[in-house]
Amino acid sequence: MARSVSTQRKLVTTVFAWAIGIAIFFPILWTILTSFKTEAAAIADPPVWFNFHWTLENYATVQERSNYFRHFMNSVIISGGSTLLGLIIAVPAAWAMAFVPARRTKDVLMWMLSTKMLPPVGVLVPIYLLFRDLGLLDTRIGLVIVLTLINLPIIVWMLYTYFKEIPGEILEAARMDGATLRSEIIHVLTPMAIPGMASTVLLNIILAWNEAFWTLNLTAAKAAPLTAFIASYSSPEGLFYAKLSAASTMAIAPILIMGWFSQKQLVRGLTFGAVK
């Protein structure tokens, strides 16, 4: 039974919570506002809040000068591709670990997770050289491969925790009903695991979209996703706040919007399935 709380206390909490929420969100809000200002208004002292001349000019300039759309597509392909590929590899593995546990299943899972502990910088040199020799530097396919591998342990882990929640009896029932392994996974397991899979996919798209070690070190211009595109603003364009803001807004908007529309799955996904 939820206890009723006095309205007065609820109001106080409301003020506090909103103040903190807005404070945390403020840098993003400020960036979005600035992206609609002229450069002069962007650095005005005292700062202007809403009563400035709204303009879309910065967005046009960014697209024109650095071909935002290409980098956007790179990000989409790299994050979507690596997530899809990871899912194809991880679903069977997670099925095996969740429903046919062996004595060493826990160890395998822990080992997979421990590959995430491997500092990327420890293998930066060889991967860089391998990519150079294989002609994978600055290609989308190269980044898809790397991001699939670095996020695979997380996908397996998350799917495993979601699959664990599905009673094994249902899969056994399917087996008794004459389902092959393939139909068991496609007709019974997958539809039941849709919410968990959605969370997994969302989180991995975000992680891949925002990954900024390999994308910065393995790309130059052609395959650069938005992370690398933005990094090129560190100087001297960084001093043009309005354009920087426009570019930033465009880089984070897709994920921000996706995140807001799928909040429920995402919140579950953000906890990596580890906390219920």
Partner 1 sequence: MATKHARVAARFMISPAVLLLLGWMIVPLSMTLYFSFLRYNLLMPGMEEFTGLTNYRFFLTDPAFFAALTNTILLVGGVLLVTVVGGILLALLLDQPFFGQGIVRILVIAPFFVMPTVSALVWKNMFMNPVNGLFAHAAKALGLQPFDFLSAAPLTSIIGIVSWQWLPFATLILLTALQSLDQEQLEAAEMDGAPWIKRFWFIMLPHLARAITVVILIQTIFLLSVFAEILVTTNGGPGTASTNLTYLIYMQSLLQFDVGGGSAGGVVAIILANIVAIFLMRMIGKNLDA
Partner 2 sequence: MGRITLDKVRKTFGDVEVIPPLDLTIEDGEFVVFVGPSGCGKSTLLRLIAGLEDVTSGQIRIDRQDATDLPPAKRGLAMVFQSYALYPHMSVRKNIAFPMKMAGLPQDEQDRRIEAAAKALNLTDYLDRKPGQLSGGQRQRVAIGRAIVREPAAFLFDEPLSNLDAALRVGMRLEISELHKRLATTMIYVTHDQVEAMTMADKIVVLRAGHIEQVGSPLELYNRPRNVFVAGFIGSPKMNLISGAEAEKHGAVTIGIRPEHLGISTESGLWKGVIGVSEHLGSDTFFHVTVEGLGEPLTVRASGEVSLKYGDIVWLTPNEVNLHRFNAEGLRIA
CA 31 vs CA 164, 201, 233: distances in Å? 42, 28, 14
Interface residues with partner 2 (CB under 8 A) are 167, 169-170, 172-180, 183, 187-188, 191-192, 194
Number of residues that bind partner 1 (CB under 8 A): 96
Measured distance CA(88)–CA(94) in Å, rounded: 11
Q: Which of 199, 200, 227, 265 lies at the binding interface for partner 1 (CB under 8 A)?
A: 227
Classify residue 268 by burial, with Cβ atoms within 10 Å: 0-12, 13-18, 19+. Answer: buried
Could you report how far apart the first and last alpha carbons of the chain are, in Å?
Answer: 20
* Contact with partner 1 (CB under 8 A) among 56, 60, 102, 194: 102
Q: Which amino acid is at 124?
A: L
**166 lines the binding site for partner 1 (CB under 8 A):** no
CB 182, min distance to partner 2, A: 11
Site residues (CB under 8 A) for partner 1, limited to 179-218: 181, 206, 209-210, 212-213, 216-217
**Secondary structure of the chain: what % helix, strand, coil (to 5)?**
75, 0, 25
- In the range 233-262, which residues lie near partner 1 by CB under 8 A? 233-234, 238-239, 241, 244-245, 248, 251-252, 255-256, 259-260
153, interface contact from partner 1, partner 2, none, CB < 5-8 Å by kind: partner 1
Burial string for 191-226 (b: 16+ CB within 10 Å, else e) reads ebbeebbbbbbbbbbbbbbbbeebbebbbeeebbbb
DSSP-based three-state secondary structure for 131 = helix
Q: Which does 169 bind (CB under 5 to 8 A by kind): partner 2, partner 1, none?
A: partner 2
User: Which of the choices partner 2, partner 1, none does residue 73 contact, using the CB cut-off of 5 to 8 A by kind?
Assistant: none
Q: How far is the CB of 248 from partner 2 (least distance, A)?
A: 41
Binding of partner 1 at residue 230 (CB under 8 A)?
A: yes
Task: Give the residue carrying structure tokens 């996904």.
Answer: 269
Which option in partner 2, partner 1, none does residue 99 bind, with CB closer than 5 to 8 A by kind?
partner 1
CB-based contact 164:123 (threshold 8 Å): no
Q: Cβ closer to partner 1: 140 or 243?
A: 243
Pick out residues in 135-154 that bind partner 1 (CB under 8 A). Answer: 149, 152-153
In angstroms, give the least distance from the CB of 64 to partner 1: 20
Nearer to partner 1, 22 or 173 (CB): 22
What is d(CA 83, CA 203) in angstroms, rounded to the nearest whole number?
A: 9
- Residue 52 touches partner 1, criterion: CB under 8 A: no
